Amino acid sequence: MRKFISITLISISSLFVFNTAYAGKLVIESWRNDDADAWNNAIIPAFNAKYPDIEVIFQTTIPVQYAGSMNAKLEGGTAGDLITCIPFDQSLKLFNRGWLDSLNSLGGLDNYPQVAKDAWSTDDGSDLFCVPMASVSHGFMYNKEIFAELGLSIPKTESEFFATLDKIKDDGNYTPLAIGTADTWATAIMGWQNVGPNYWAGEKGRKAIITGEEKFTDQHYVDLLTSLQRWSNYMADGYQTQTYPDSQNLFTLGMAAIYPTGSWEIFTFSQNADFEFSAFPPYTQDGQTDCYIDDHTDIGIGLNSASKNKAEAKIFLEWLTSAEFAEIFANEVPGFFPLHTHSINVNDPVAKEFISWKDTCDTTIRNSSHIVGRGEPNLDGVIYEVVSSVINGTMTPEEGAAKTEASLANWYEPHQ
């Protein structure tokens, strides 16, 4: 009996041993719990095939808590060896606090284009602190079976898009747009950052906001919010309580025709949906000739300055720059597009569809991320609230545009 108790106590106490940094073992901190299988079953084994002595553990935190908990863990010295990096200012802050190492001396950094490195470099470009990993694209996914049943074709312009939605609504059997406003971040990212680049002309508009040449009160931002407001006519009744997982389920259960989203859903959707789905690019404004795709540098990975296994960690990071990793990652986690310059074969048809848009359209990144995302109140947070309120009808597009501009002008000199 006494033996039994002691064994129980030991096994209970072992539950409380955190996976923090200690010798002989690399712990990766990430918010991508959806990818845990890919890491555990494909990526880490491939790495271990080459470096069998380095044990790698993939540890996740839920996405909305990631930034906060990573801050606390790094400050308290309990974070893992490798830190998955959010792009731009969030990670720059960690570097400025001295919590991430500079990776300038790492081999294999030539395998990335400059735009990929920009997301994790200091403003003057002198230090790179995270190895770029992957980007995600925005677009609309649609249920092919519903489109075939109703005889719909893929909409290209704004008026075609709403005409398509009207047809689905008239049929009455399916929710035209699977999106709600309860998770404000999801609404803003799938709406504003999705079709937005077509309104502000991609990189040109993004840079004009940073330099102050354009303001959020300019007509094209009001037009964008007006267009998003029209979405509310095509959402499910009571969309104000519909959360992001609700929308995902609505689409994967085959109850909705179109789902405004991003390429990161491909991986989970191809496992959950038992119908054929594909994607079409963000609609353009009527009469617009060029097109823009948001191809956001989304994931990088950095080295915790307090790590006790820096030598092993650097071996791992260098391996991440290789074509081998890029190919495994692109196919194990379809929808995350490796930022490497290696040419890679992607097998997933929906992921291929997303990639193909980049041939005809210019790419850009989210306009709230770089430089304008570092003040108080946080620009992303304001956009989340504004977009959801405009769709809920509690704010007009003009009021929303004015609120966004005012919050940026509060701290950002070029807009004052």
Partner 1 sequence: MKKKFPYHIIVFLFPACFIYTIFMIFPLFDTLRISFYTQDLMGSNLDNTTGVRTFTGINNYRILFFDELWSYHFWNALKNNTYFFILHVSIQTPIGLLIAAFLSSKELKFKGTYRTLIFLPAMMSIVIVGYIFNLILSNLWGIPQTLLGAVGLENLYQPWLGLKETALITISLISIWQFVGIPMMLFYAALLNIPDEVLEASKIDGSNGITTFWYIKLPLIMPTVGLMVILTYVGNFNAFDLIFAIRGLYAGPEFSTDLMGTFFYRTFFGFQHQLGNPTMGATVASATFGIILIGVLVYLFAFQKRITRYQY
Closer residue to partner 1, CB minimum distance, 271 or 410: 410
Q: Among 90, 217, 285, 331, which residue interacts with partner 1 (rule: CB under 8 A)?
A: 90
Nearer to partner 1, 19 or 249 (CB): 249
Select from 408, 401, 379, 394 the least CA-distant residue to 185.
379
Interaction of residue 97 with partner 1, rule CB under 8 A: yes
Residue of 347, 307, 369, 314 whose CA lies nearest to 21? 307
Evaluated on CA atoms 49, 335, 106, 74, the torsion sign reads negative
Interacting residue with partner 1 among 151, 238, 311, 347 (CB under 8 A): 238
Instruction: Identify whether 282 is preceded by a cis peptide bond (ω within 30 of 0).
Output: no
Q: For residues 224-261, b (16+ Cβ closer than 10 Å) or e, as one string?
A: bbbbbbebbebbbeebeebebebbbebbbeeebbbbbb
Nearer to partner 1 by Cβ, of 31 and 354: the residue is 31
Distance CA 281, CA 260 (A): 10
Q: Binding of partner 1 at residue 248 (CB under 8 A)?
A: no
82 sits near partner 1 (criterion: CB under 8 A): no
DSSP reduced 3-state for 307: coil
Asked if residue 183 binds partner 1 (CB under 8 A), the reply is yes
Q: How far is CA 201 from CA 73, 221, 256, 351, in A?
A: 39, 11, 30, 24
Question: Which residue stretch of 93-101, 148-156, 190-198, 217-225 sits at the interface with partner 1 (rule: CB under 8 A)?
Answer: 93-101
Instruction: Please choose, out of 54-62, 104-112, 244-252, 309-317, the segment that lies near partner 1 by the rule CB under 8 A.
Output: 244-252
* 298 sits near partner 1 (criterion: CB under 8 A): no
Neighbours of 207 (CB within 10 A): 15
Q: For residue 344, give the nearest of 357, 319, 49, 334 by alpha carbon.
A: 334
Per-residue x/- track, 8-27, partner 1 (CB under 8 A):
--------------------
In single-letter form, the type of residue at position 360 comes to T
Strands 175-177 and 256-262: parallel
Which one, 175 or 364, has the nearer CB to partner 1? 175
Query: How many residues interact with partner 1 (rule CB under 8 A)?
Result: 45
* Nearer Cβ to partner 1 (340/415): 415
Tell me how far, at minimum, the Cβ of 4 lies from partner 1, in Å: 30
Are 215 and 407 a contacting pair, CB within 8 Å? no
373-402 residues in contact with partner 1 (CB under 8 A) are 373-374, 376-378, 380-381, 384-385, 388-389, 392, 394
Task: Give 184 or 367: the residue with its C-beta nearer to partner 1.
Answer: 184
72 binds partner 1 (CB under 8 A): yes
Residue among 182 and 208 whose Cβ is closer to partner 1: 182
Q: Which DSSP letter does residue 173 get?
A: S
- Contact criterion met (CB below 8 Å) for 259 and 179: yes
68 near partner 1, rule: CB under 8 A: yes
Asked if 144 contacts 367 with a C-beta cutoff of 8 angstroms, the reply is no
**Contact region with partner 1 (CB under 8 A), list: 17-25, 231-239, 260-268, 336-344:** 231-239
Which residues lie near partner 1 (CB under 8 A)? 64, 67-68, 71-72, 86, 89-90, 92-93, 96-98, 180-185, 236-243, 246, 249-250, 373-374, 376-378, 380-381, 384-385, 388-389, 392, 394, 407, 410
